[in-house]
Each structure stands twice: as structure tokens, then as C-alpha cells.
A = this chain, B = another copy of it.
Amino acid sequence: MKVTITDVAKKAGVSIKTVSRVLNNEPNVAEKTREHVKAIADELRYFPNLAARGLATSKSFLIALIYDNPTPNYISLIQRGAIEACREARYHLVVEPMSLVGAASYDEKVKLTREVLDRLPVDGVILTPPLSDDKAVLAVLKELGVKSVRIAPKNEMALPCVGMDDETAAYEMTQFLLSKGHERIGFIQGHVDHSSAGLRYAGFARAMRTAGVDVVDDLVAQGDFSYESGVQAARELLSVPQEARPTAIFASNDDMAAAVISVAGQMGIDVPCSLSVCGFDDTPLARVIWPALTTVKQPIYKMGYQATKELVRKADDLSGNSQILDFEIKVRGSVTALK
């Protein structure tokens, strides 16, 4: 049988309330009693029953990570960070994918979101893009009164968020390409539902304008962050007479940048000699393709960690505070100076 608080109390010769006090580090226990109870608990290998504790406190000690079809490279880092923060607070992480892409209407999205959240016995929710920008999801969360932290570039609906400055990062990456002599720079946009996608494009455009270089419509292609969309976008950008081709392509994430490198390979275009390529995120993928990807390092792990930390904090006043983390331009083999 599992050891219970009663077993510990009996063996220690105290009431269960005292055991409870010791285990929860509550005050008002004689130091000697505390030591004794601790020793007995260790000896008996006692661990409190979470269901019982949860029932008494109406907490679950569970945090949910909710995501919608992200690339595994991205979500695995968020997840890792979230788990680390959970462990430190003795929480566990529950993972819940949701598929809202097929949902046509707002009402449909609300319904799908409820199906997941209604039965989810958690103390808090971490929302990843694009769900963190979805009005329907945010509305349901609010209605249900579930604590949540958004992983997103900007504050919304007074919900706390953890993110980074996508606009500036894209600005700096573009500046880097410009500094290497590139002017005909192609850009592949991310999924329209992700607020970061718009910000990355904005940063790109601002850098171009600042440098006095026109953004050519034909050099901007629409993607959706998936590898497949990157293939299609790359084909659009590269299937033109050589003199009209971009000398560099800035893809809004690493998966699409990997696609550009693949398509270039298929078309016999040498990367980086004839085409520089850069991405965004610095997921593990960036280092396992050839040439390795110049990209913006997002602190993805840390985002997951901070978001979760926020959720498990004792203080319940987590409305509205947002954290902006640092990024870094990672220069690798996929970009070279224009000859």
C-alpha cells in the first residue's frame, strides 16, 4: 500500500496536521518536532497524494502547454523550458495540441477550444503562437477564468506575455544582409495569423527603407512558416531570369529557410556563393542543414521557462506584466558577402 500522511503521523507520534505543517513548511512547529517528522517521512518514503491535496486546495499542480501545429523544433524547446520551471515548483506539464486551422468561424473556434479546456484540470495555461493571438481562445480562457501566459511579442487583453522584439531583430538581420552588399533581398513572410510574422516583415521593410533600398513586391513571397510553404515561396522567388533573382533571401523562420536551401539545390543555385539565405528562430534545424543557417536566435527555451515561472508563482497578481527577452544574430555559413 501507498504510505499516507496518517502512517507518518502515527509513526512520528503526532497528529496529521503537524505532519502537514512540516511538509508544507508552515510556521509554528517546534524545530525538534519538525526534524523528527521529516526523518520519519524520509524513512517511510512518504510523498503526499496529489489528488487529495488537490481536492483540499482546489489546485491541480498541473500546467498545460497548448499549441497548434508548430514545428517540432520550436515546441520542443518551449516544452523543455516549461518543464524545467515546473520541476522547480513541483508541478507537472501536460501537453495539449489543438487544431484550429480547420475552424472556419469564430464560434467554431470557441467550441473546439472549450472541448479541450473544459476538461483540463490545470492551474495555468501556456499559450504558444498562433493560439496566443487567437481571439476565440483568449475569450474562452477568460470566461473559464484560467490563468494563462501568452508567448507572444506584444501584450494583449491585459494578459501577461513573454516574447521578444521581432521587429528589431528582423531589422538588424536585414541590416546585416545590407552590410554584406546585398540589395536585391527576397523576403518570405510567415503565417498571417501570427503577430510575429507581421512584425518581422515590418522590421525588414524598415531596414530597407532606412538604407534607401526599395522593397520590390516581386521579391516578397507569402509563406506560412511550414517547410512546404517555403518550398513554394522559394520557387516563386527563384524561377525568374538570373538578373532578376534576389542575391539573398530572408525567410521568416528556419524551416522556410531550409526550404530555400533545398530549392536552390534542386535548381543548381549555389548557397551561399550565388544566393545567401537566412532564417529566424535558431531552432536545432539551423545547425543540421548544410550550409548551416545564419539566423536570429530566439531565446525559445527561456520563453517557455519564464512563462511557466510566471504561472507557478505564488502571487496571483500576474495581470498584464510582460517580459521582453533578448535575441542575437547568429552568423553561419549560409550568408556571404556579395561579390
Contact = CB atoms under 8 A, between A and B. Distances in A.
Interface of A: 2, 45, 47, 49-52, 54-55, 58, 60, 62, 71-73, 75-77, 79-80, 83, 90, 92-97, 118-121, 227, 255, 258-259, 261-266, 284-285, 287-292
A316 to B, nearest CB: 17
**Which of A50, A255, A262, A288 neighbours the largest number of chain B CB atoms within 10 Å of its CB?**
A288
Contacts of A96: 83, 92
A77 B73 CA distance: 12
A23 B54 CA distance: 22
A265 B280 CA distance: 22
Contacts of A118: 45, 47
Contacts of A45: 118
Contact of A262 (B60, B227, B266, B289): B289
Q: 6 closest Cβ contacts across the A-B interface?
A: A72-B76, A262-B290, A51-B54, A265-B290, A51-B55, A50-B121
A259 B287 CA distance: 9
Nearest to A72: B76
Given A54-B54, A94-B94, A262-B292, 17 more contacts: A47-B119, A49-B121, A51-B52, A62-B92, A71-B284, A72-B73, A72-B75, A73-B73, A79-B95, A80-B97, A83-B97, A93-B94, A258-B288, A261-B290, A264-B290, A285-B285, A289-B289
A300 B81 CA distance: 24
Question: How many chain copies does the complex carry?
Answer: 2
A62 B121 CA distance: 11
Contacts of A261: 290
A295 to B, nearest CB: 14
Nearest to A71: B284
A119 B95 contact: no
Contacts of A72: 72-73, 75-77, 284
A57 to B, nearest CB: 9
Nearest to A75: B76
Given A288-B259, A288-B285, A83 B55 contact: no
Nearest to A287: B227
Nearest to A230: B288
A273 to B, nearest CB: 12
A83 B6 CA distance: 36
B50 A60 contact: yes
Nearest to A256: B288
A52 B264 CA distance: 58
